[in-house]
Structure 1
Amino acid sequence: MPPRARRAVAALGIVIFLAVYVWAAIFIADRLPDAAWIDAIYFILVGTLWGVPLLPLLKWAEGGRKD
């Protein structure tokens, strides 16, 4: 697959993933107990861990190029 097509597929995958991720994060947050410290921990984790599943997709999009 050409690099340009790979990046387009990855961009579409990222948009879809983030839409589902945000929906799931809000869905789960609505079901948490009403405590400020739980909300803080949850949103810190959710806000920082969203990038971890995207790393393999980004690596694939670059085609494993050597710098």
Structure 2
Amino acid sequence: MRLRTRKLVGTILLLGFLIAYSWAAVAVGAGRIALAPPLAQFAYFLTAGLLWVPPAGFLIRWMQRPD
């Protein structure tokens, strides 16, 4: 696959992943975590806020791989 095509596919996948991930994180945060103690809420939102980084990093690394 050429670099240009890989970037297009990767961008579409990354946007889809981020949209789905953010919806899931918000759904869990609004449902179960809303009633949790403040420290548990902080831990959840810190974890959920950083958990998307490794998959996005792998996808970006794949997109930048030379031909």
- With the length of structure 2 as denominator, give the TM-score of the two structures: 0.83
Which of 35, 47, 50 is residue 48 of structure 1 equivalent to? 50
Q: Which runs of 5+ in 1 are unaligned?
A: none
The structure where helix makes up a greater share of residues is 2
What displacement does 1:57 show? 1.4
Q: AA paired with 2:49?
A: G
CA RMSD of aligned residues (A): 1.3
Q: Secondary structure at the match of 2:36?
A: coil
Percentage of matched positions with identical amino acids = 30
| 2:37 corresponding residue in structure 1 | 35
Write out per-residue CA displacement over residues 1-44 of structure 1, whole angstroms, 9 at most, x where no aligned residue.
Answer: 11111001101111000000001101111212332111111011
* TM-score of the pair, normalised by structure 1: 0.83
- In structure 1, the partner of 2:5 is 5
